[in-house]
Structure 1
Amino acid sequence: MLNITTSELYTLLATYLWPLSRILALVATAPILGNPSIPVRVKLGLAIMITIVVAPTVEQSLPQIDPSSGMGLIVLLQQLLIGIAIGFVMRIVFVAVEMAGELIGLQMGLGFAIFFDAQNSGQIDIVGRFLGIIASLAFLAIDGHLMTIALISQSFSTLPVSTEGVTQATFTNLANWGQEIFRAGLQLSLPVLTALLITNLALGVLTRAAPQLNIFAVGFPITLSIGLLVLALSMPFYAPIFEHLVYEGLNLMMGILNISKMNMP
């Protein structure tokens, strides 16, 4: 008969519970991995699989705390915060790309073409949806999802499970990283916005020169055509910008986890 003492049971529970909470929080919030279209069972299975691989390497560094105690609950919440913070960093990159698409779609006159975005539980226009899909494919192409999993695995050696958790400076860096939504979104949408601004100025001059011209019948097709043309011409230049944003996000994640930063191409 197999006999397990209470202390051994608590040790076994802590060995897998605390790493699982950090990994599960990352899987639930990270882009691609945390997409609502992925079944919950798949997410849970992936988190458990990673935990089974990682847990034996962090067993020796776990604090000697009862998981069912108040301090054990605090440690559990800290691991959830660490996982959410790591996933939040990379999610901002995708929000910036989708924001650029919303600005472009609004100026093109496609603000009425709205879809429901299950990932953000909100509405997003068709151009933002298109750029979001392109960003997801680029993220997979540069193995961003594998880098994210590798970082969460390394985090247990550089930021071990303890009662300390993350510092206030970490949350300050996350708040400052949020400004990338507006900077990167404007940077990505600027070429199309500039072309549409010139187009609208030209249509305004044309309306003054020929008042009998129906600007509503002519302006929308021209604006839509110019916007799509410039967007298609700008797509090859979006890849380096997005790749740079991904590497910046990965370096910020490494800074949170105290891992040596990678060199950006």
Structure 2
Amino acid sequence: MVEVTSAQLYGWIAAFLWPFFRLLALIGTAPLFGESTIPGRVKIGLAAMTAMVVSPTISGLPVAPIYSFEGLLIILNEVGIGLATGFTMRLVFAVVQQAGEIIGLQMGLSFASFFDRASGGQTMVLSRFLNIIAMLLFLAMDGHLLMLGALVDSFNGLPIGGTPLAAEGWHAVARAGGMVFSSGLLLALPMIAALLTLNLAMGILNRASPQLSIFAVGFPVTLSGGLLVLMLVMPQMGNYMQHMIESGLDAVNMVLGQFGR
């Protein structure tokens, strides 16, 4: 007959819960995993299954009770690591959405918006379209697996414990947030240049022929020209999005490395 003591049972539960908090924080905030369209039970189940696989490979688990003050500090550390990792990767998709907002505004598609459950507000159609493309590219590159693998590997570089996380890690997250505006503008720059040239041409045409109503023909011409340029630029956008995803994965590794200092 197999006998299990309360100490052994508590040890098994603790070995499962410590990595579970870090994984759940990542899955709740990371792109693809953290989408609001995915039920919360699915996220918890995925984090639990991953924790059951990962927990036997983790050594040096803390002996502090989960319900103690030290256990609370450990939980906060684990949640902070997971949140920082997921948020850093989500910044890549914020770049794509920012570029879509800029392009849609230049094309005159700012009125074409709908309620997006993922962002919790009104989102331009073009911004959502580019975000879907980036998400499919993220899946094709196995970015979700690389991101999850980076967090699992962090249990070696960032062992579970109550030691406060290094401030350099949070500084790295803040620096990564700066790429939202710069990279988003670079992604939208070809469209901005083309539409600016088109608007300048329409302005010159209006000066040359005042009888031409620029307000009557300007919007359809800008919209048609923007869609044509977007069709031509899309292949190059895919390469830039791939570069951004790779940069996001590098930023995740950098943030995790800075936390371990």
TM range (shorter): over 0.9
Give the alignment's TM-score, normalised by structure 1: 0.93
After TM superposition, give the deviation of residue 209 of structure 1 in Å.
1.6
Partner SS state of residue 122, structure 2: strand
Match of 1:64 in 2: 63
Is 2:128 the counterpart of 1:129? yes
Root mean square deviation of aligned Cα:
1.5
Alpha-carbon separation, structure 2, partners of 1:69 and 1:252: 34
Alpha-carbon separation, structure 1, partners of 2:178 and 2:121: 21
Match of 1:263 in 2: none
5 Å matches for 1:218-237? 218-237=217-236
Q: Does the CA contact (< 8 Å) of 1:13 and 1:67 recur in 2?
A: no
Q: Does the CA contact (< 8 Å) of 2:169 and 2:256 recur in 1?
A: no
Partner SS state of residue 89, structure 1: helix
Structure 2: which 5+ runs fail to align? none
Match of 2:13 in 1: 13
After TM superposition, give the deviation of residue 255 of structure 1 in Å.
2.0
Q: Does the CA contact (< 8 Å) of 1:89 and 1:177 recur in 2?
A: yes
Alpha-carbon separation, structure 2, partners of 1:247 and 1:204: 41
Alpha-carbon separation, structure 2, partners of 1:144 and 1:246: 8
Q: Deviations over 1:28-54 (max 9, x none)?
A: 100011111112222111111100000
After TM superposition, give the deviation of residue 165 of structure 1 in Å.
4.2
Match of 1:45 in 2: 45
After TM superposition, give the deviation of residue 79 of structure 1 in Å.
0.4
Partner SS state of residue 41, structure 2: helix
> Aligned letter for 1:8?
Q
Q: Does the CA contact (< 8 Å) of 2:26 and 2:83 recur in 1?
A: yes
Match of 2:165 in 1: 166
Alpha-carbon separation, structure 2, partners of 1:63 and 1:100: 45
Match of 1:207 in 2: 206
Alpha-carbon separation, structure 2, partners of 1:26 and 1:100: 25
Q: Does the CA contact (< 8 Å) of 1:79 and 1:165 recur in 2?
A: no
Structure 1: which 5+ runs fail to align? 260-265
Q: Does the CA contact (< 8 Å) of 1:109 and 1:224 recur in 2?
A: yes
Match of 1:262 in 2: none
Q: Deviations over 1:206-230 (max 9, x none)?
A: 1112222111110001100111111
> Aligned letter for 2:134?
A
Task: State how many pairs are aligned.
Answer: 257
Alpha-carbon separation, structure 2, partners of 1:117 and 1:79: 30
> Aligned letter for 1:4?
T
Partner SS state of residue 71, structure 2: helix
Partner SS state of residue 257, structure 2: coil
Q: Percent identity?
A: 47
Q: Does the CA contact (< 8 Å) of 2:170 and 2:255 recur in 1?
A: no
After TM superposition, give the deviation of residue 3 of structure 1 in Å.
5.2
Alpha-carbon separation, structure 1, partners of 2:61 and 2:255: 19
> Aligned letter for 1:73?
L
After TM superposition, give the deviation of residue 13 of structure 1 in Å.
2.6
After TM superposition, give the deviation of residue 66 of structure 1 in Å.
1.1
Q: Does the CA contact (< 8 Å) of 1:105 and 1:128 recur in 2?
A: yes
5 Å matches for 1:170-209? 170-209=169-208
Q: Deviations over 1:112-136 (max 9, x none)?
A: 0112221121221011011001000
